[in-house]
Amino acid sequence: MSNQNLKELRDLMKERGIDVYIEPTSDPHQSEYVAPHYKGRDFLTGFTGSAGMAVVTMEKAILWTDGRYFIQAENQLKGSGFELYKMHTPGFPSYQEWLKENLKEKSVIGVNGEIVSEGFVEEILDKLESLEPLIYDGEDLVGLVWVERPGLPKGKVIKLDIRYSGESTEKKIEKIREEMISEGADIFLLGSLDDIAWLFNIRGSDIKNNPVVISYAVVTRDQAILFVDSEKVDETTKEYLKLEGVNTMEYEEIFDFVSSITDDKVIVLEKGRVNRKLYSTIPEECEIIDFQNLTSLPKAIKNEVEIENQRLAYTKDCVALTKFFYWLDNNISSAEITEYDAALKLLGYREQIEGFQEPSFDTIAAYGENAAMMHYSATKDNHAILKPKGLFLLDSGGQYFEGTTDITRTVALGELTDEEKRDFTLVLKGHINLISAKFLQGTSGHALDVLARYPLWQEGEDYKSGTGHGVGYYLNVHEGPHRISTAPNNVALEPGMIVTIEPGIYKGRMHGIRIENVAVVAEDVETYVGQFYKFDILSWCYIDPECINPSMLSEIEKDWVNNYNMQVYLKLSPFLTDNQNAWLKDKTRKI
């Protein structure tokens, strides 16, 4: 029981004079999704969502999480001793505000320096400056309580061929060095795993759904070093790396390497993506430039090879998805199908695709009210049975050498209520409003976010999540630095950036709707006011006409739906049987 874990944690805190212990969701690389070894926050709270922050004092235990997980967290926290605080929700302070209001002066704040970033700690110290708190960061207290903790992952490292990456490691490193020179830096220190995988054109299997390799990296003016458990790298891969100018050293050797950097060196790193333990190892005399990882932007801006591969990946992926929906439609009335069965069946279709590696995240197959939980996950033991009525939400994606996919469709399993149709149509209007936007060079996703919400807001609806996120190339399904969100973000969208567009409506105890497509930012016209960009859609799966209330759509919106669905048929039908095509023809009929 979580209660016992909490009690033991508090005992350790008391022994050490710690007033508050903060356990975020993190690993030494500030990964969004972490290996089981690093799921200390899950262990402590019982809440298994991908994002959350546990804060424990002697009197209180609070978990902060975001809108995707409010319903799930409420359920999972029952009896845990943890209270749910809703992020970005009026009436709930942020964890920093809460600390500011509840801590005494000179309180001792405990964190595990191995998993929190330097930026994380500095931000706390800055926000709580007037309280002059002390940081205790030398021990993993949750780890001390956690007896049956899983070990570190041991996934093998593979090389990503240039026909997939589109650019050699040597070339990428060359460009990074140019950036280093322009920033006046001698050493680039890199801790985030997707950046390392991108830079060195390697992939691994250390984190489920995220084909990364647990490692650190350093680029100097004349060296590039990958710090990784040598057991994971075979000779061929080592040889390949060497040819590209990359040496390998053991994972833990990063600390010795960094501590022996000479005083005169200028180091560029992103404080929010380097753990505090490693950061503290840097000799004090070194100058540090805190700058967004130099790999971050070139990784986000996909090259031509990557974009063309992604188109291929989406076609294959959407064929699998369509086959699944065809199967579902033909069996829903005759067989007992659970949400869990549905996810497995879909996986089966994906597994038939050449080059499919694994899902890019846990499939969300959610029927009826379950779909109101944005990141719901049906299990073997806990799931709903699909019935031939109401809405079914399916959010899934795959990892391929040709890229990473992510797509959501909400479809009718039978008759719908007027409210279900109304809500679906509002979400569709938001989706169309954003995805068909032309926008000026320099515009951020934050500035565009409202376009997807506008039709919903006018009717008193909203969704408590971002509107879209970047997607990696055969890497993490969530990738920055750009995103489309109400949360401030000033990164301009640039041609080559891939982004999801996924507005929704989530009504507890009723239904959940999300329509998600993925697009790459592309050039549009240049006029006297400047260069315009547009969204070039990559994902092609039918938007269910049964869900739409056409009277709520303008002619322009109807044209958009009809054109999109026509394209779906044209792109996918070559890969489907006659029966499947007849069915798809109907699903892509004009509204």
Residues that bind a second copy (CB under 8 A): 88, 90, 130, 184, 289, 437-443, 446-451, 453-454, 457-458, 460-462, 464, 486, 488, 490, 507, 525, 527-532, 554
Q: How far is the CB of 78 from a second copy (least distance, A)?
A: 22
> Closer CB to a second copy, residue 257 or residue 291?
291
Tell how strand 247-249 and strand 224-227 pair up. parallel
Q: Which of 409, 381, 411 is nearest to 395 (CA)?
A: 409
> Closer CB to a second copy, residue 132 or residue 336?
132
Q: How far is the CB of 177 from a second copy (least distance, A)?
A: 17
Q: How far is the CB of 263 from a second copy (least distance, A)?
A: 17
Q: How far is the CB of 506 from a second copy (least distance, A)?
A: 9
Backbone dihedral angles phi then psi of residue 464, each to the nearest 5 degrees: -95, 55
Q: How far is the CB of 365 from a second copy (least distance, A)?
A: 25
> Closer CB to a second copy, residue 239 or residue 459?
459
DSSP code of residue 420: H
> Closer CB to a second copy, residue 162 or residue 525?
525
Beta bridge partners of 506: 512
Is 453:432 a contact under the CB 8 Å cutoff? no
> Closer CB to a second copy, residue 95 or residue 401?
95
For residue 36 the two structure tokens come to 């089981």
Residues contacting residue 148 through CB under 8 Å, at least 6 positions apart: none
Q: How far is the CB of 182 from a second copy (least distance, A)?
A: 10
Q: How far is the CB of 82 from a second copy (least distance, A)?
A: 24
Q: Which of 263, 278, 157 is nearest to 216 (CA)?
A: 278
Q: How far is the CB of 457 from a second copy (least distance, A)?
A: 5
Please give the helix or strand (H or E) that residue 16 lies within, else none. Answer: helix 2-16
> Closer CB to a second copy, residue 311 or residue 534?
534
Q: How far is the CB of 534 from a second copy (least distance, A)?
A: 10
Q: Is 61 helix (H, G, I), strand (E, B) or coil?
A: strand
Q: How far is the CB of 289 from a second copy (least distance, A)?
A: 8
> Closer CB to a second copy, residue 345 or residue 464?
464
> Closer CB to a second copy, residue 443 or residue 573?
443
Q: How far is the CB of 576 from a second copy (least distance, A)?
A: 35
Residues listed for the chain: 591
Q: How far is the CB of 454 from a second copy (least distance, A)?
A: 6
> Closer CB to a second copy, residue 147 or residue 529?
529
What distance in Å separates the CA atoms of residue 421 and residue 429, rounded to the nearest whole number?
12
Please give the helix or strand (H or E) that residue 505 lies within, else none. Answer: strand 504-507
> Closer CB to a second copy, residue 317 or residue 557?
557
For residue 210 the two structure tokens come to 């995220």
What distance in Å separates the CA atoms of residue 328 and residue 335, rounded to the nearest whole number?
10
> How far lies 304's CA from each of 164, 175, 308, 310, in Å?
10, 17, 6, 10
> How far lies 396's CA from each of 209, 379, 427, 456, in Å?
11, 15, 19, 24
Q: Is 25 helix (H, G, I), strand (E, B) or coil?
A: coil
Tell how strand 216-220 and strand 247-249 pair up. unpaired
Residues contacting residue 554 through CB under 8 Å, at least 6 positions apart: none
Is 485:467 a contact under the CB 8 Å cutoff? yes
Position 227, amino acid: F
DSSP code of residue 82: P
> Closer CB to a second copy, residue 210 or residue 467?
467
Residue ranges in 290-378 assigned as alpha helix (H): 296-300, 304-331, 339-351
> Closer CB to a second copy, residue 208 or residue 464?
464
For residue 545 the two structure tokens come to 């006409």
Q: Which of 109, 115, 107, 122 is nearest to 140 (CA)?
A: 115
What distance in Å separates the CA atoms of residue 472 and residue 397, rounded to the nearest whole number?
12
> Closer CB to a second copy, residue 305 or residue 440?
440
Q: How far is the CB of 484 from a second copy (least distance, A)?
A: 11
> Closer CB to a second copy, residue 399 or residue 485?
485
Q: How far is the CB of 581 from a second copy (least distance, A)?
A: 35
What distance in Å separates the CA atoms of residue 532 and residue 527, rounded to the nearest whole number?
8
For residue 262 the two structure tokens come to 């000479």
Beta bridge partners of 121: none
Is 22:109 a contact under the CB 8 Å cutoff? yes
